[in-house]
Chains A and B, each alone.
Chain A
Amino acid sequence: MKVKQISVFLENTTGRLAEVTKTIANAGINLRAISIADTADFGILRIIVDKPDKGMEVLKNAEFTAKLTEVIGIILDDEPGGLMKIMDIFNRNGVNIEYLYSSLINENGSVVIIFKVEDIDHGLEIVKKSGLEAISSF
C-alpha cells in the first residue's frame, strides 16, 4: 500500500531539472507524479515513477543525491469536495501531513493525490478504516 517516491536534491541552477528528466527518460522510465519544493538556494524534486528502483539506480549513477521515501497515494473522487473528504478524515484522525501533490492523470482518467504524512503506518490504517482507496503502485 505504500508508494515509493524518489527525492532528488537540486541546486537552483539552470538545466538541473532537465538533466534529471533526461536521465530517467533515457532509462525508459515513466513519470507518474512530480512536484518541486523550492527555497532560495535549492530545490527538492519529488517524483513517482513506474520503476522506482531502476529510477534510483540511474539517478545515483548520474551522481544525483537521491533517496527513496514512502508515501501514500489516494485515488481522488473527481467531484467537488473530493480532496476535502480526505482532508477531513485525516484531520479528524490526527494524520499529520508534511506535504501533498497531485499525480498526472491515469490511463483510466483518475487522479491520485500523493501524501507524505508524519506516521505512514497510522496514515494507512486510517485510509483503510475510512474506506478510502490507496494505491500501491502506478
Chain B
Amino acid sequence: MIYNKEIETMNIPQMQELQLERLRDLVKRVYEKVPFYKKKFDELGVKPENIKTLSDISKLPFTTKDEMRETFPYGLLSTSLDNIVEIHTSSGTTGLPVVAGYTENDRTLWSEVMARCLAMAGADKSDTIQNAYGYGLFTGGLGVHHGAGSLGATIIPISSGNTEKQLQYMQDFKPTVLTCTPSYSLFMAEIARENGLDFRNFDLKAGIFGAEPWSDNMRVEIEKKLNLKAYDIYGLTEIIGPGVSCECEAQNGLHINEDFFYPEIINPETGEVLPEGEKGELVFTTLSREGTPLIRYRTRDITWLFRDNCSCGRTTIKMHRILGRNDDMLILKGVNVFPSQIENILMKIENTEPHYQIIIDRESSQLDNVELQVEVEESFFSDETKDMELIRKQIYKEMKQQLGIALNIKLVEPKSIARSMGKAKRVIDKRDLPKAGEI
C-alpha cells in the first residue's frame, strides 16, 4: 500500500515545483525569523529572492552539527517556544546535544512520513507493530509511535530492552511488524534460540531496522533468523528522526520523502553539488519544518542518489544504503560516539593518560561489544589489585555516565596499543559494517 499516493507517485516536474515552492517559503522564513541564518545568508550575500530555481539552493550556506551545538538549546528555533510541542535530542554527545524542536505541524509531518515508511515495509491498519526502539529523547521510539498512529495500526509501545518480555509479547499479541535496531533484532533471535523459541512460530512478516549502520550481509542473517523481510529505514534527529527515507518491497534503495526533505549529494571537500549516481556526503534541507528548520544540513553520511522505475510504483528519489561516514564518529549500541570524547573523559580521570584503543565486535552477542583498552601508566599503577580495580571501575562509571553506554574496560600494558607513524590507531572495528575507507 502506498500511504500518500498523490505525493509518492507524483511525476518529477510536479514534485520539483512543489519543492521549489516550499524552498522559497523556507528560505524567506529562516531569513526573517532565525538570526543565525540571516547572518549566514548576509555573509554570503544571498537574499531569499535570489532563490528562483531548485538549483539555486547551491547558493545557500551549509549547516553543520557543530553549529547546531553552538546554538544550543534554542538558537535555531524559527518560532516561539509556545508553538513547540515536543523536543528531541541526538543520542550521544560531544559536549552539548543537538536539539530538535517540533511544532504541532512538524509532529503531523513526522507522523505522515513515518506512516509512509511503515507502509513501504508493507504495513497497514490491520497490522500490529511491536516497537522496540527506545522511547524518550531518542527519536526512534516516538517516531515509529507517531507514524503507527497515523497509519491506524496497533502499536505495542514496549520500547527497547527486556528481551524475554519482547519474546513473550510476540507470542501473546502476535505482532506482524517489528521495529528496532538491526543489532537488537539479532540479539532477540539469540535469546529466542537459547529459550527454545522459534521465530517461524511467530507472526512477524516485516522488520523495520535503523538508527545504526548495517550491511546486506546482516540483512540476510536477520531475514533468516527472524523469518521476516528486513527493511532499512533512515533518519536523523536533526532532520526529523526516523522517516527521512525507507526501503520499499523492492529492497533496492531507500525512497526519500523528498517533498519534505530535499536531498543533495556534495563533494565533502569542496562542497560542490554532485550529480545523481555519484557518491558523496548526503545533505538535507527540511522544506517544511517549522520548529528547527535546517538549510543544507551536512549529515556526514556517505551515499548516492538515484531514480529507477521502482516496482512499488513510487516515483520519489532514492538513496543507497549508507556507505559510511566522512568523520570519525562511531555508532556504538545506537549511540553516537567520537573517539575524542573518550579521550577527554580519560584525561579528566585523575592520573590516567589518554592512551587507549576501542575494539568493537559484534560476533558473539550480536549486540555491539565495545572494549576500551587503557594503557597502565606509572602514574596510576599500584602494586595492589584493589587500587587497579578501583581505577577500572571509575573509568567504567565515567564512560557510562558521560557516553551513556557500557564499555568493557581492560587495563593493558603500555605500548601494547599499536602505534603507527607516531599516531595510535584508536579504533578497531571488527563489525561487518561499511567503512569510510572503502568508499
Q: Do A9 and B381 touch across chains, with their CB atoms under 8 A apart?
A: yes
Say what secondary structure dominates the interface of chain B.
loop
List the interface of chain B (C-beta within 8 A of A).
Answer: 376-378, 381-385, 388-389, 410-416
Interface check A67, CB cutoff 8 A? yes
Task: Contact check, A42 vs B388: say whether CB atoms are below 8 A apart.
Answer: yes
Cβ–Cβ contact A67 & B413, under 8 A: no
A11-B385 in contact (CB<8A): no
Q: Are B384 and A67 in contact (CB under 8 A)?
A: no
| Any B CB within 8 A of the CB of A103 | no
A90 close to chain B: CB less than 8 A = no
Complex: A138 Cα to B293 Cα, angstroms: 76
- Contact A7:B414 (CB < 8 A) given known A42-B388, A65-B377, A67-B378: no
What's the least CB distance linking B424 to chain A, in Å? 15
B138 shortest CB reach to chain A, Å: 32
Residues of the B chain whose Cβ atoms lie less than 8 Å from the Cβ of A125: none
Tell whether, in the assembled complex, residue A5 and residue B377 are in contact, meaning their CB atoms are under 8 Å apart. Answer: no
For A9, the chain B residues whose CB sits under 8 A away are 376, 381, 388, 411, 413
B414 x A41 contact (CB < 8 A): no
Given known contacts A63-B414, A65-B376, A39 and B381 CB-to-CB distance under 8 angstroms: no
Q: Specify which chain B residues have a CB less than 8 angstroms from the CB of A46 in the assembled complex.
A: 383
Q: Are A44 and B384 in contact (CB under 8 A)?
A: yes
B410 in contact with A41 (CB, 8 Å) = yes
Q: Evaluate whether A39 and B383 lie within 8 angstroms (CB atoms) in the complex, with A11-B412, A63-B414, A63-B415 already known.
A: no
Contact of B414 with A65 in the complex, beta carbons under 8 Å: yes
| Alpha-carbon distance between A9 and B374 when the two chains are bound, in angstroms | 13
> Is A10 an interface residue when CB atoms closer than 8 A count as contact?
yes
- Least Cβ–Cβ distance between B384 and chain A, in angstroms: 6
Contact residues of A: prevailing secondary structure:
strand
Cβ of A39 and Cβ of B385 under 8 Å apart?
yes
Between B377, B413, B415, the greatest number of chain A beta carbons within 10 A of the residue's beta carbon is seen for B413
Q: Determine how close the nearest CB of chain A comes to the CB of B261; give it in whole angstroms.
A: 47
Asked if residues B383 and A5 are in contact (CB atoms below 8 Å), the reply is: yes
Cβ-based interface call for A37 (8 A): yes
Q: Does A137 contact B (CB under 8 A)?
A: no
Complex: chain A residue closest to B386, CB-CB: A98
Task: Write out, one digit per residue, whether chain A residues 23-41 have a CB within 8 A of any chain B CB (1) or not (0).
Answer: 0000000000000011101
Q: Select from chain A the residue with minimum beta-carbon distance to B384.
A: A98
Q: Is the CB of B384 within 8 A of A99?
A: yes
Q: Smallest distance from the beta carbon of A101 to chain B beta carbons, Å? A: 12
18 sampled A-B residue pairs with Cβ under 8 A:
A9-B381, A9-B413, A37-B384, A38-B385, A39-B389, A41-B410, A41-B411, A42-B376, A42-B388, A44-B382, A63-B415, A64-B413, A65-B377, A66-B378, A66-B381, A67-B382, A67-B383, A99-B384
Cβ of B374 to closest chain A Cβ, rounded Å:
11
Residues of A within 8 A of B378 (CB): 65-67
The docked-state distance in angstroms from the alpha carbon of A41 to that of B388 is 11
Which listed residue (A44, A64, A99) contacts B388, Cβ 8 A? A44
Bitwise, A7-20 to B at CB < 8 A (1) or not (0) is 10111000010000
User: How many angstroms from the CA of A44 to the CA of B415 in the assembled complex?
Assistant: 17
- Complex Cα gap A5–B413 (Å): 20
The 9 closest A-B pairs by CB, nearest first: A7-B383, A37-B385, A69-B383, A9-B376, A65-B381, A65-B376, A11-B413, A9-B381, A42-B411
Min CB distance, A105 to chain B, in Å? Answer: 24
Closest to B392 in A: A41
The complex places the Cα of A63 from the Cα of B382 at a distance, in Å, of 16
Given the complex of chains A and B, what is the CA–CA distance between A37 and B386 in angstroms?
A: 10
Question: How far, in whole Å, are A99 and B383 apart by their CA atoms in the complex?
Answer: 10
What's the minimum C-beta distance from A83 to chain B, rounded to whole angstroms?
A: 21
Say yes or no: A10-B410 contact (C-beta < 8 A), given A42-B388, A44-B383, A46-B383: no
Interface residue ranges of A38-76 to B (CB < 8 Å): 38-39, 41-42, 44, 46, 63-67, 69
Within the assembled complex, what's the spacing in Å between the Cα atoms of A132 and B4? 91
Complex interface bits, A105-132 against B, C-beta within 8 A gives 1, otherwise 0: 0000000000010000000000000000
Contacts of B381 in A (CB 8 A): 7, 9, 65-67
- Give the most central of A5, A16, A65, A67: most B CB within 10 Å: A65
Which residues in B have their C-beta under 8 angstroms from that of A37?
Answer: 384-385
A38 to B381, CA, bound (A): 14
